[in-house]
Amino acid sequence: MTATAPAPPVAQGDAPKPALLELRAIDVFYGRIQALRSVSLDVADGEIVALIGSNGAGKTTTLHTISGLIHPSRGEIYLRGQRINTLGAERIARLGVGHSPEGRRLFQRMTVRENLEMGAYARRDREGMRDDYERVYTLFPRLRERHSQLAGSLSGGEQQMVAIGRALMSAPSVLLLDEPSLGLAPVLVDVIFEVIREINAKGTTILLIEQNARLALKNANRAYVLETGSISLSGPAEELLNSPAVQRAYLGV
C-alpha cells in the first residue's frame, strides 16, 4: 500500500476486507534513535501477513509496538476499529493479541504445562481453556509428552512450540509470530509452518516475521517489506516473491 521507496509495480488486488489490525503512520523511538518511521500496515481477518526485512529493519519493534510493550510516539493502532496504541500490554493481550516473541522468551523455570497456563492467564473460561490445552497438544503432540518438563531444558524446536502454544492459549484473534523458524532444522521448520497454516485455517489471523523471506512469502497471503524502519514494499505474497527487487535483496537470486 505505502510505497515510500522507488515503487516497483506491485498490485493490490485484495477485496476490501475490514482490517482486523491496522497501524497508521507509526513512529517509534528508542531514546533518540528512531526505529520506525511512519509505518502503516493492515491485517485483515483470516489472513497470514508476513513482515520481512533485513537485520535491524525494525520488525521486532513493530510487533512490540502492536502488543503494547513499546508505545509509539506518533501514529495510531487499531484492533477491530478500537484504538489500542495507548493501552498497556496487558489490556492489549486481553483484547485478543497473542504474541510469540523473538527468542521465545519462555518462563524457563516453569514446566511446559505451566507455560501454557501462563498463556491463559487473562482468561477465566475454564471450558474454553481445557479445549485449548487439547488443541495445543494436538497441534504439537510433542508437548503433550513433555508437559511436565521444565521449559528451559527443552530443545530449541520444542521451545518454539511452547512459545507458539503459549500465545495460542490466550485464544487470540490475531497471533504475532516473531521468527518462529529461528535456529530450527529444516524438517522442524516445515512442521512449524504446517502448524501455522493449520492455526490460520481454524480462523486465527497471523502476522508473521521471518528472516527467511522465501519461506515467509510462500506461506503468507500478503507481505510487507521493512527497510531501516519504513515500509518499502507491500502486496500479495506471490507478487513479491516474483518481484525483481525482492528477489535481489532478500531471496538471493
Partner 1 sequence: MTDLAVRSPVALLRRVTQPARSMGRRVEGRSVYLILTLTAAGLVLLGWFLPWFVGPFTAGTGFSPQDVVSSAPTGFATVLVYVMGASALIVVLSPLAELVARLRKMTLGVRVDQVRAIAGAAGLVAAVLVYVLVGVIREEPAFGVLSSTTITNSAVWLTMYGFGVALFAYGAKGLVLTRPNLAFAIAALPFGALLPLMFHQAPDFLLWAASSLAIYTLLALGLNVVVGFAGLLDLGYAAFFAIGAYACASLSSPIHGIHLPLWVLIFLGAAIAAIFGALLGAPTLRLRGDYLAIVTLGFGEIIPDLATNNVFNLTGGPNGLPGIDQPKIGPVDFGTSPQWYYWSIVAVTLISVLLLRNLQRARVGRAWVALREDEVAAAATGINTTTTKLLAFAIGASVSGLAGAFYGSMLTAISPDAFQFQVSIAVLSIIVLGGIGNITGVILGSFVLTFVIFWALPHAHEWSATFAHNFNVSAVGNINFPQYTYIIYGAALILMMLLRPGGLLPSRARRIELQTGVESESLAAVQGRA
Ligand X SMILES: Nc1ncnc2c1ncn2[C@@H]1O[C@H](COP(=O)(O)OP(=O)(O)OP(=O)(O)O)[C@@H](O)[C@H]1O
C-alpha cell belonging to residue 33 = 534513535
199/216 Cα distance (integer angstroms)? 15
Asked if residues 41 and 223 have their Cβ atoms less than 8 Å apart, the reply is no
Alpha-carbon separation of residue 3 from 75, 173, 213, 225, 251 (angstroms): 17, 28, 19, 10, 20
Q: Does 72 bind ligand X (CB under 6 A)?
A: no
H/E stretch holding 169 reads none
Question: Around Cβ 34, how many Cβ atoms within 10 Å?
Answer: 15
Question: Around Cβ 111, how many Cβ atoms within 10 Å?
Answer: 19
Q: Does 117 bind partner 1 (CB under 8 A)?
A: yes
Q: Which is nearer to partner 1, 174 or 240 (CB)?
A: 174
The binder of partner 1 chosen from 41, 93, 199, 208 (CB under 8 A): 93
22/205 Cα distance (integer angstroms)? 13
Phi and psi dihedrals of 120, rounded to 5? -95, 15
Q: Does 85 bind Mg ion (CB under 5 A)?
A: no
Q: Which is nearer to ligand X, 173 or 211 (CB)?
A: 211
Find the shortest distance in angstroms from Cβ 114 to partner 1: 6
Find the shortest distance in angstroms from Cβ 59 to Mg ion: 5
Q: Which is nearer to ligand X, 111 or 181 (CB)?
A: 181
Taking CB atoms, the residue at the shortest distance from Mg ion is 60
Find the shortest distance in angstroms from Cβ 247 to partner 1: 33
Q: Is 55 exposed, middle or buried (0-12, 13-18, 19+ CB in 10 A)?
A: exposed
> How many residues belong to the site for Mg ion (CB under 5 A)?
2
Q: Does 251 bind partner 1 (CB under 8 A)?
A: no
> How many residues belong to the site for partner 1 (CB under 8 A)?
35
Question: Judged by CB under 6 A, which stretch of 4-12, 40-48, 58-66, 244-252 contacts ligand X?
Answer: 58-66
Residues in contact with Mg ion by the rule CB under 5 A: 60, 102
For binding to partner 1 (CB under 8 A), which residues are involved? Answer: 30-31, 33, 64, 67-70, 88-90, 93-94, 99, 101, 105-111, 113-114, 117-119, 121-122, 150, 152-153, 166-167, 170
